[in-house]
């Protein structure tokens, strides 16, 4: 919080010193009565919290124009990220997208600095469509998976059809897919997809109207070579 005399106040301002407070006020263009909020921790968790807080403040202070459809292109997605659980480099989003710079970048640059030819279009904070340019070169595809810890034999075993098809010289190609239900949600001024879906599912992925998914019959389980081992019910 910035006081009318231009000084900062609050737990962060009280602990980082007046010089840093002044630098933040200058960089953010803050005036008396303005506030600046900080979040920290695991990025996968705090960015959602920060977004919810921003939306709540915008609604409470009537800063959101409800009559505007604001579109934004999201580009330059990171190709790789570091997986803290497995302690290795892993794919960030779509493993089949073309990295910017192609095979040369995969061979010569830090994997965590690479961007991918991926893009989303959002409206009023909701993703409407997502797409990218396909990694259509077999050697680049193998190298990308190698960086993520998968050998060529794994690529051939799991994605053999795509791998072999690219051997015949697939041209550069890409595209995107739009979520029609999300577009309808915005037009209907709804805030949840369940409000516009024909057969909405609950949080347990159950369609209450259709009664789906239903239990598989013994015959269906035998055909799929499956055996169900359900936990015993107490009482």
User: What is the model's pLDDT at position 202?
Assistant: 87
pLDDT for 194 equals 87
Handedness of CA 144, 146, 149, 151 (dihedral sign): positive
> Which residues, including other chains, have CB under 8 Å from residue 210's CB and lie 6 or more apart?
199
pLDDT at res. 105: 96
Mean pLDDT of 198-222: 88
Mean pLDDT of 26-35: 87
User: pLDDT by residue (tens digit) across 85-117?
Assistant: 888 999 998 999 999 999 999 999 999 999 999
Q: Mean of the per-residue pLDDT values for the chain? A: 90
Q: In a 10 Å sphere around its CB, with 0-12 CB exposed, 13-18 middle and 19+ buried, how is residue 124 labelled?
A: middle
Domains of the chain: 69-223 (3.30.930.10)
Model confidence band, residue 75 (pLDDT cutoffs 50, 70, 90): very high
Cβ 143 vs Cβ 106: under 8 Å: yes
Q: Check pLDDT > 60 for residue 235.
A: no
Give me the pLDDT at residue 45, please. Answer: 79
Spatial CA neighbour of 134 closest among 175, 89, 79, 189 = 175
Mean pLDDT of 170-186: 92
Q: What is the pLDDT of residue 182?
A: 92
What average pLDDT does range 191-205 have in this prediction? 87
Q: How confident is the model at residue 51 (pLDDT cuts 50, 70, 90)?
A: confident
């Amino acid at each position: 919080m910035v006081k009318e005399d231009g000084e900062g106040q609050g737990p962060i301002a009280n602990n980082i010193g007046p010089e840093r407070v002044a630098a933040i006020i200058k960089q953010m263009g803050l005036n008396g009565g303005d506030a600046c909020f900080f979040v920290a921790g695991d990025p996968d968790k705090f960015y959602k919290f920060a977004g919810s807080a921003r939306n709540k403040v915008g609604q409470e202070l009537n800063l959101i124009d409800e009559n505007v459809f604001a579109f934004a292109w999201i580009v330059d997605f990171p190709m790789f990220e570091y997986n803290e659980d497995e302690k290795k480099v892993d794919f960030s989003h779509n493993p089949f997208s073309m990295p910017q710079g192609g095979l040369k970048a995969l061979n010569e640059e830090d994997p965590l600095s690479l961007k991918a030819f991926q893009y989303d279009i959002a409206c009023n904070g909701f993703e409407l469509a997502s797409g990218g340019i396909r990694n259509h070169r077999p050697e680049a595809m193998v190298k990308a998976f190698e960086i993520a810890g998968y050998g060529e034999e794994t690529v051939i075993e799991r994605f053999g059809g795509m791998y072999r098809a690219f051997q015949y010289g697939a041209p550069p190609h890409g595209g995107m897919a739009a979520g029609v239900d999300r577009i309808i949600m915005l037009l209907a001024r709804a805030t949840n997809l369940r409000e516009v879906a024909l057969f909405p599912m609950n949080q347990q992925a159950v369609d209450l109207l259709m009664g789906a998914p239903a239990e598989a019959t013994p015959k269906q389980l035998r055909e799929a070579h499956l055996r169900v081992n359900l936990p015993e019910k107490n009482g």
